[in-house]
Amino acid sequence: MTGGAPLFAGLGGVLLFLAAGRGLVELLPALRERPRAARFAYSYLLGVAAVAGSTYLLGIAFDIRIGRGVVLAPVVLLVVSGLVARLLRRRTPARRSPTIHPPRAGVFAARFAFGVGAFIALGLFAAALTKPDLGWDGEMSWSAAARWVRADRSVTPRALADARVYVTHPRYPILMPLAQVAVQETFDLGDDRRAVKPLYAAFFPALLLVLFDLARRHAGTCAAALGTVALAVVPVLAFNDAGGTDGTFSDVPLGAFFGAGFLLLLGRARTSEAVAAGLLLGAAVLTKNEGLPFAVAALGAVAFLAITGRPAERRTRLTALGLAAAAVLGAGLALRVWQSNIPQRWDEDYAGRLGEVSLAKEARVRLPLLPGAVMREMRSREDLAGFPLAAALILAAGAGGLRRRIVPPIVLCLTTCFGAYVLALLLSNWGGVEQVHPTWARFLVMQLSLPLGVLLALALRTGWRARLSFSRKGEQNGVTRVRGATEPRSRGRRRVLLLFLAFATVPVLLVWLFASYRRGQVSAAPRAAARTVTGSTESPWKEDASLTGSLDEPAEGSSVQGSLAVRGWARLPDRDLEVTVFIDGNERASVTHRRLSRPDVQNALPMLGDCASAGYEFVYAFSAKDSGPHEVEVLFRTRDGRERHYPARGFIWRN
Partner 1 sequence: MRTARRLAPVVALAALVVFLAASLPGAMDASRRRIKNAGRERTLGADEALATLRGQDYVAAIRRIRDELPEDSEYLLLVGTQGGADVFVRFDLAPRRAIFGGTAADVSRNVTLSRLHALPAWTVVPRLDGPGPRLVATRLLAEKGALP
As beta bridge partners, residue 561 has 654
CB 166 → partner 1: shortest distance, Å?
A: 4
CB of 131 to partner 1, least distance (A): 7
Amino acid at 649: R
Give the nearer residue to partner 1 in terms of CB position, either 193 or 593: 193
| Calpha distance 542→194 (Å, rounded) | 44
CB of 239 to partner 1, least distance (A): 5
Helix, strand, or coil here: 579?
strand
Q: How far is the CB of 394 from partner 1 (least distance, A)?
A: 5
Rounded to the nearest whole angstrom, what is the least distance from the CB of residue 572 to partner 1 in the complex? 15
The continuous run of DSSP H or E covering 592 comes out as: strand 592-596
- CB-CB neighbours of 271 under 10 Å: 14
Q: Which amino acid is at 449?
A: S
CB closer to partner 1 out of 111 and 491 = 111
Of 188, 203, 19, 190, the closest CA to residue 125 belongs to: 203
CA distances, 356 to each of 352, 428, 443 (Å): 7, 11, 25
Q: Which is nearer to partner 1, 6 or 255 (CB)?
A: 6
At residue 305, what are phi and psi to the nearest 5 degrees? -65, -40
Residue 129 CB contacts under 8 Å (≥ 6 apart), including other chains: 6, 7, 10, 11, 194, 197, 198
Cis peptide before 554 (omega within 30 of 0): yes
Instruction: Compute the least distance from the CB of residue 473 to partner 1, in Å.
Output: 11
> Residue 639 and residue 636: Cα distance in Å, rounded?
10
Q: Is 264 exposed, middle or buried (0-12, 13-18, 19+ CB in 10 A)?
A: buried
Minimum CB–partner distance for residue 339 and partner 1 (Å): 19
Least spacing, CB of residue 378 vs partner 1, in Å: 14
Considering beta carbons, is residue 47 or 138 the nearer one to partner 1?
138
Residue nearer to partner 1 on the CB measure, 47 or 117: 117
Query: Which CB sits closer to partner 1, 395 or 424?
Result: 395
Task: Give the nearest distance from C-beta 595 to partner 1 in angstroms.
Answer: 8
CB of 133 to partner 1, least distance (A): 6
SS (H, E, C) 189-247: CCCCHHHHHHHHHCHHHHHHHHHHHHHHHHHCHHHHHHHHHHHHCCHHHHCCCCCCCCC
Q: How far is the CB of 641 from partner 1 (least distance, A)?
A: 21
Indicate the residue among 119 and 512 with the shorter CB distance to partner 1.
119
C-beta atoms surrounding 130 within 10 Å: 12
Give the count of alpha carbons within 13 A of 38, CB side only. 18
Residues 6+ apart with CB under 8 A from 438: 242
Residue 261 or 398: which CB sits closer to partner 1? Answer: 398
Least gap, CB of 82 to partner 1 (angstroms): 33
Question: Which of 194/649 has CB closer to partner 1?
Answer: 194
The C-alpha atoms of residue 204 and residue 245 are separated, in whole angstroms, by 6
In the complex, minimum distance from the CB of residue 637 to partner 1, in angstroms, rounded to a whole number: 17
Calpha distance 228→251 (Å, rounded): 18
For residues 587 and 610, which CB has a smaller minimum distance to partner 1 in the complex? Answer: 610
Nearer to partner 1, 64 or 165 (CB): 165
Closer by beta carbon to partner 1, 90 or else 104? 104
**Closer Cβ to partner 1, 117 or 261, answer by number:** 117
User: Which residues, 6+ apart, have CB-to-CB distance to 330 below 8 Å?
Assistant: 282
CB of 18 to partner 1, least distance (A): 22
> For residues 523, 439, 542 and 564, what is the CA-based torsion angle, rounded to 10 degrees?
-60
Decide: helix, strand or coil at residue 567: strand
Nearer to partner 1, 159 or 328 (CB): 159
Cα of first residue to Cα of last residue in the chain, in angstroms, is 49
Q: Tell me how many degrees the CA angle 77-79-84 measures, rounded to the nearest 5.
A: 95
Nearest partner of 228 among 129, 334, 347, 116, judged by Cα: 116
Q: 281-284 long-range CB contacts below 8 Å, 24 or more apart?
A: 281/257, 281/324, 281/327, 281/328, 281/331, 282/49, 282/53, 282/327, 282/328, 282/330, 282/331, 283/45, 283/48, 283/49, 283/52, 283/53, 283/175, 283/257, 283/331, 284/254, 284/257, 284/258
Cβ neighbours around 578 below 10 Å, total: 15
* Angstrom distance (rounded) from CA 72 to CA 58: 13
Report the nearest approach of partner 1 to the CB of residue 453 (Å). Answer: 12
Task: Please provide residue 131's backbone torsions phi and psi, each rounded to the nearest 5 degrees.
Answer: -95, 130
- By beta-carbon proximity to partner 1, the closer residue of 124 and 327 is 124
Task: Pick the closer one to partner 1 by CB: 20 or 230.
Answer: 230
CB 127, min distance to partner 1, A: 4
Cα 16 to Cα 443: distance, rounded to the nearest angstrom: 29
Cα separation, 267 vs 309, whole angstroms:
12
Q: Give the SS3 label for residue 317.
A: helix
CA distance 426 to 444: 18
